[in-house]
Every structure is written in structure tokens, then in C-alpha cells.
Structure 1
């Protein structure tokens, strides 16, 4: 995981598809930044993700978190919340 974080704890790059296990680690790391008791707007999700990555693609990360089951959302994308997998 340390290969994907800078000194400030921000994800520096998205692991390639051949590194699915590393992608899962990055997603888990980012998922922990969301409070499971809070419902977020898409704008708030993007803002939070921008704080913790530096390759400027919150849409990719938001989509990956949703597809991996870490975030759920309203069908229209108006609200997001963390799924507590633990």
C-alpha cells in the first residue's frame, strides 16, 4: 500500500487492472475515510475523495467504491453512504 501513498496519506495512482488486490486495498483505505453514519451528496463524496488522492479522478474512485460495495447510493446518484463491511 505504501507504494500508492504520498507522505500526506494521499493515493498517488490507481493500480492497474492486473493488480486487483492492490485496487481492493486502495478502495478499503478510501472507504475508511467515510463516516458510515453520514449520507453524502455526490459533491461531498467527490470533495472527500479529492482530499485523499492526487491524480484528480474522483469519478473513477466513486464508481469503483460503489461497484466494490463500499458505497451505496440512491438510484439517481443524489445520495451516497458507506456500507459497513466490518
Structure 2
């Protein structure tokens, strides 16, 4: 996948949120791959990581879960990164 991060990210922050689903997906693949490793995270930890990239970190978290990059434990207390996303980039 060829991803032009400069189109969406400036100085480490997301400055333009893509409107097209394909572009949004590529941005989230990139973001997930640079933000997370294979450990489990609390929601607070996820929020702290994501707010470094975009003010509406809840939006980022929701899309990462919807796209399947972040998974939640059955009780919803912890999140973990699905490393198979790395095969997509």
C-alpha cells in the first residue's frame, strides 16, 4: 500500500481528516502501525496516545475499533492492537 502521509499529517498531527473511506482506512493503518505494539492498553492509555495525533481522539479510537485495528477484550476494559494490520502496509 502506498500511503502519502504528508497529505494528512503535518508536524506529527493529523491536519486533514480524509473524506473518502479508502483514504481514511489508509490513514488509520498508518496510525495504528506507528502507535501500538502487542501489549494490552486501557482506554485511558489509548486516549493518551491518540490525542498526540488528533484533538478528537475518541473519533480516532472509534474508527480504529470499527476498522478492526484495535480489538477490545470481552469486558471492554482493555484494548489490544491486531498486528495483522502490519501486513496491510
* TM-score, L = length of structure 2: 0.80
Number of the residue aligned with 1:10: 13
Considering fraction of residues, name the structure with more strand: 2
Tell me the distance in 2 between the aligned counterparts of 1:28 and 1:59. 17
How many aligned positions are there? 80
Moved more, 72-81 or 42-51: 72-81
RMSD of aligned alpha carbons: 1.3
Tell me the distance in 1 between the aligned counterparts of 2:83 and 2:62. 17
> What 5-or-longer segments of structure 1 have no aligned partner?
none
Cα deviation for residue 80 of structure 1 reads 0.3
Tell me the distance in 2 between the aligned counterparts of 1:11 and 1:76. 31
Tell me the distance in 1 between the aligned counterparts of 2:16 and 2:42. 24
Cα deviation for residue 75 of structure 1 reads 3.5
Cα deviation, 1:41-76, whole Å, max 9, x if unaligned, reads: 0000010001122xx111111010011010000234
Tell me the distance in 1 between the aligned counterparts of 2:82 and 2:30. 14
Considering fraction of residues, name the structure with more helix: 2
